[in-house]
Amino acid sequence: MTYENKVAMVIKNDLMDWQKLNVASFLASSIAVKFPETHGKPFINASESEYLPFIKHPILVYKADDQAQIDRAFQRAKQRDLSIGIYIKPLFSTKNEDENHVEIGKCTDETQELVGIIVYGENKKVNKALNGLKFHD
C-alpha cells in the first residue's frame, strides 16, 4: 500500500542503544497522538482478546552521524512546513512530562540540542528534508 504521507525519524548515531530506543518510542507516540489517521484499529485474536493498534505507516529511521546532520534535517523539515516532533538531550535526565516541558521551554530552535526528530507530511517533502541521510543499521 502506498501512503500519501510519510513518517520518518532521525536519531543521532552516537547515543547508547537504550537511548536510541527510548527516543524512537517517544517520537513515534507523538505521531499517533497528534494524527489519529495514522493509526489503525485494535487487533483481536482468535481468543477474542483485544490488543492495541499499530501506526499504519511504516516509520523510516535514519541516522545522524553528527549534530550538523540532525540540525540540517530539522531546518529543512521546518522550511517544508512538515509536522515535527523533537527529543533533546536534557530529556534523558527528566522524570516526567512537566520536567520535559520545562527543558524544551528553555531552548530556542537554534539552541536546542537535538538527539532525535520525527517528521510527518507529504512523501516528497519528507524525502527532500532528509535527503542525504542513511538508514540506521
Per-residue pLDDT tens over the stretch 71-109: 999 999 999 999 999 999 999 999 999 999 999 999 999
Is the C-alpha dihedral spanning 75, 81, 82, 83 positive or negative?
positive
Query: What DSSP character marks residue 137?
Result: -
Give residue 124's pLDDT: 96
Q: What is the span of the domain harbouring residue 94?
A: 5-135
Q: State the chain's mean pLDDT as an integer.
A: 96
Q: In CATH, what number is assigned to the domain containing residue 109?
A: 3.40.1490.10
**What per-residue confidence (pLDDT) applies to 1?**
64
- What percent of the chain stands above pLDDT 90? 90
Cell of 127: 524525502
Q: How many domains does the chain have?
A: 1
Q: With the CA atoms of 62, 65, 70 and 71 taken in that order, what torsion angle do they form, in degrees rounded to the nearest 10?
A: -160
C-alpha cell at 5: 504521507
The three-class DSSP label of residue 37 is: helix
For the cut 80, the answer to whether the pLDDT of residue 20 exceeds it is yes
Q: Is the pLDDT of residue 3 over 90?
A: no
Calculate ∠ Cα 93-102-65, nearest 5°: 55
pLDDT of residue 107: 97
d(CA 51, CA 46): 12
Q: What is the DSSP letter of 14?
A: T
